[in-house]
Amino acid sequence: MEELYTLEKEVGRGSYGVVFEGRSAKTGQKVAIKRLPCKDPECIELYLQELWAMRTPAKNHDNVIALHSCLLQTGRRSLKPLTKGKLPLDLVESVLKGSVSLATGSPSSTRRRTNSVTRLRDRTNMLSSKSPYSTTPQNPPSKARRRPTLSVDEHTEPMRCSVLWLVMEYCDGGDLNQYLLSQPPDTYCNHSVVQQLSSAVAFLHNLGIIHRDLKPDNVLVSVTPKGPIFKVADFGLSKMSESLVDGSPVRKHFSSTCGSDFYMAPEVWGGLSYTSQADIFSLGVMFWAVLERITFLEEGTTHEQLGAYVCKGRWLMPLGAALWENPDLQLCIPVKWNKIAPPGPAVCSLLLDMLAANPDSRPTADQLESRVCRAVKEDSR
């Protein structure tokens, strides 16, 4: 690994890791660098799921975030590039044992150092305190110190991995919430969102990948001269949704409840087993919200989010929860009180099918991709 990366500023922080804006010193390319600390088996399992999903495609899809490289931090001053097509065995062992592997590296005398050196120059402490992206305390510029050079080492014995660094393509338009809610509604842009994300999910499902946490926060936007490109990201909860039995593909069923409340399918809410069709429901919630600019404020936050729901008295009820409680509930699409141009009848019919309480009544990802194109064309006449 001969590239040199600089961490320029923090752009996102979640329960499992931190994302930095960075740059390759060799090419000047701007990248997003995700730092994932390997502190317990549960976190490590999520990281491996994300890494496996991102490395599965032989070719990148325009509407799925691209992974450039992955680095294993095996010590305070050493990084090791991950070989393509392989998962780090120490991390797999940690997940299988239910405890973080304590394997240590061989003595320094037995180490073989490669000629290539990777430095991760950290400039996050040199940011101005006024930076809108900075969410951690900053040292005064005059006292800023550069972290020691991190080198790529090869060891004859396994080392404990303390951190995974994922180097991904950088999206300058923020997430779907930030991008769409910062500008007036535009029918052409709305249709572009629906078509691009349908294509992305069809691509993932054809690879046997179920995302399990599709929501506007997990869709990033790359602004280009030809228009915005919407990209599915964050594969921490993803799973492989198909397996082979006697040479034939068989759809897997899952039972763990995961995802975000306002986008979860009824069967997930109810604790039933579910398939990749749960992703189709999540897309339906997103598409309805995008097309009519339906937003909500999650309890305890001031962050406005795109998402459809059912009003129950003074409370907002997620669609999945409402349909689990009453599978015969009639959804009103479009929303009558909305002032913007509603989606046409073909798109409304498609949304109702995507939001069916019965997962078998929803279109598959391939069917959805083709139906979206037909519905948009039909409603544009």
Position 263 pLDDT exceeds 80: yes
Mean pLDDT over residues 199-208, rounded? 93
Both 199 and 131 in one domain: the answer is no
Rounded to 10 deg, the angle between the 365-379 and 277-292 helix axes is 20
Last residue of a domain, which of 169, 203, 236? 169
Both 277 and 311 in one domain: the answer is yes
Burial of 219 (C-beta count, 10 Å sphere; 0-12/13-18/19+): buried
Give me the chain's average pLDDT, please: 78
β pairing state of 151-154 and 78-81: parallel
Both 187 and 143 in one domain: the answer is no
Helices (H), the chain: 41-55, 89-97, 176-181, 187-206, 266-269, 277-292, 319-325, 345-354, 365-379
Rounded CA-CA distance 265/284 in Å is 10
Position 158 pLDDT exceeds 70: no
268 is in which domain, residue-wise? 176-379
**pLDDT score, position 131:** 35
Q: Which residues pair with 12 in a beta bridge?
A: 19
Position 361 pLDDT exceeds 60: yes
**pLDDT score, position 230:** 98
Q: Quick one: how far is CA 374 from the chain centroid?
A: 28
CATH number, position 294: 1.10.510.10
Both 245 and 337 in one domain: the answer is yes
Cβ neighbours, 10 Å, residue 159: 21
CATH number, position 70: 3.30.200.20
Both 184 and 157 in one domain: the answer is no
**pLDDT score, position 96:** 66
The amino acid sitting at 265 is A
Both 227 and 298 in one domain: the answer is yes
Both 185 and 86 in one domain: the answer is no
Both 208 and 164 in one domain: the answer is no
Q: Is the dihedral of CA 50, 66, 371, 322 positive or negative?
A: positive
Position 220 pLDDT exceeds 50: yes
Tokens representing 18?
A: 């931190």
> How far lies 62's CA from each of 24, 49, 110, 221, in Å?
21, 21, 44, 11
Total domain count, the chain = 2
Torsion-angle region of residue 77: left (phi > 0), alpha (psi -120 to 50) or beta? alpha
Position 213 pLDDT exceeds 80: yes
Residue pair 5/34 in contact (Cβ under 8 Å)? The answer is no
Position 266 pLDDT exceeds 80: yes
Both 233 and 316 in one domain: the answer is yes
Last residue of a domain, which of 110, 139, 169? 169
Both 143 and 185 in one domain: the answer is no
Both 164 and 181 in one domain: the answer is no
Position 151 pLDDT exceeds 80: no
Locate tokens 């320029």: which residue? Answer: 8
Higher pLDDT, 324 or 144: 324
Rounded CA-CA distance 171/224 in Å is 10
Position 94 pLDDT exceeds 50: yes
Higher pLDDT, 132 or 308: 308
Last residue of a domain, which of 141, 169, 197? 169
Burial of 2 (C-beta count, 10 Å sphere; 0-12/13-18/19+): exposed
**pLDDT score, position 86:** 67
Residues annotated as part of the active site: 213
Both 100 and 215 in one domain: the answer is no
